[in-house]
Amino acid sequence: MNKISQESVFDSLDKSNAQLMAEHNVNQHLKVAYWANTLDRVTYNADQVHTLSFYLEGGEGSKRVDLDRGNGHSGSLCLLPQYHHSIWEITSPFKFAHLYFSDDSIKQFASTTLDIEPRLIEIPELTFHNDQQLVTLARQLFLTSDASSLSYQQSTLEIFRYLLSDTQYCLNKHLKLTGGLSPAALNRVKDYIHQHFDQSISIADLSAQANLSDFHLLRMFKQSTGFTPNDYLNHVRVNAAKEGVISGKALSDLAQECGFSNQSHMNRTFKKWVGMTPGQFRKDNQS
């Protein structure tokens, strides 16, 4: 049996007749792209990220041929989960936009913002879905006049919040949970990170909180939160840095206060997570 090649929806489109109109690499987990296509046949195979698709103009000539769901139109919305397979035929001009988001991004949001167990989340497949509230959120995301990393992130988090608020979308209550940290152990590890994020933290420090080996702590923390321990530490540090940036603290002092080795380290990490430098973030949040 031939192995199905794995590539992103973005890469599949890039090899097709579709024309890339614009793209924005928001941060390490999010990317937005605007496309146009006219006559084409496109196959998506085993994508490694989730894709939210929204039709901006036209779409009546867009059809998913491996699944009978009719044709698209302006305002059509599709959700293509990772490891998705589909075949599309395009017979007339249309424009559409995509949000590409990692599985970690929505699970991390669920864990840190909504206190939802990440292992309960299962992204559904939607084709030409009719949910006016979700369509409104997609319009806010893709048709914003402020095409900044901050704006894209804020709109994406609103979409995540909506998807996670209704079990018809992302929660799998029938999933049998295995592995992961106990709630008490997880709280001890997270509390330790929040109390010591301004210091150097080792895996041994964290595994001692959970009474586990370093290897098991790494694996089980990721299962329970969607983060690696280092990513969670950076998440906490960057959130602390955001507050300091907005309050006007000197960036050199802020780097030390938040546990970064120096200002350059803070700038790199901040941009990776937020999609902009601390200076740009301060400018965008000035009243």
Q: Is the pLDDT of residue 246 over 60?
A: yes
Answer for the pair 29, 105: CB distance below 8 angstroms, yes or no.
Answer: yes
d(C-alpha 214, C-alpha 207), whole Å: 5
d(C-alpha 285, C-alpha 287), whole Å: 6
Q: Is the pLDDT of residue 7 over 90?
A: no
| CATH 1.10.10.60 domain span(s) along the chain | 183-284
pLDDT at 6: 67
Tell me the whole-structure pTM to 2 decimals. 0.90
Q: Is the pLDDT of residue 1 over 60?
A: no
Local confidence band at 5 (pLDDT 50, 70, 90 cut-offs): low
pLDDT in tens, 143-164: 998 889 999 999 999 999 999 9
**Residue 81: both structure tokens together:** 């989960």
Answer for the pair 202, 231: CB distance below 8 angstroms, yes or no.
Answer: no
The runs of H, that is alpha helices, within 88-148 are: 103-113, 132-142
Contacting residues for 77 by C-beta, under 8 A, at least 6 apart: 52, 53, 54, 55, 126, 128, 129, 130, 131, 134, 135, 138
Q: Transcribe 152-195 into DSSP letters.
A: HHHHHHHHHHHHHTSTTTSB-TTPPP-SS--HHHHHHHHHHHHH
Q: Which residue has the higher pLDDT, 81 or 168?
A: 81
| CATH 2.60.120.10 domain span(s) along the chain | 9-164
Work out the angle at residue 193's Cα, subtended by the Cα atoms of residues 189 and 194, and round it to the nearest 5 degrees.
115
Local confidence band at 175 (pLDDT 50, 70, 90 cut-offs): confident
Which residues make beta-bridge pairs with 13? none
**Could you identify the residue written with the tokens 């109109």?**
21
pLDDT in tens, 103-139: 999 999 999 999 999 999 999 999 999 999 999 999 9
Q: How far is CA 122 from CA 57, 143, 208, 286, in A?
A: 30, 27, 32, 38
Q: Is the pLDDT of residue 243 over 80?
A: yes
Architecture of 183-284 per CATH?
A: Orthogonal Bundle (1.10)
Work out the angle at residue 22's Cα, subtended by the Cα atoms of residues 125 and 43, and round it to the nearest 5 degrees.
40
Helix or strand (DSSP H, E) at 21: strand 19-25
Answer for the pair 247, 224: CB distance below 8 angstroms, yes or no.
Answer: no
pLDDT in tens, 19-75: 999 999 999 999 999 999 999 999 998 778 999 999 999 999 999 999 988 999 999
Answer for the pair 241, 224: CB distance below 8 angstroms, yes or no.
Answer: no
The per-residue pLDDT of the chain, averaged, comes to: 93
Pick the CATH number of 9-164 from 3.30.200.100, 2.60.120.10, 1.10.150.120, 1.10.10.10: 2.60.120.10
Instruction: Read off the DSSP letter of residue 79.
Output: E
pLDDT in tens, 182-225: 999 999 999 999 999 999 999 999 999 999 999 999 999 999 99
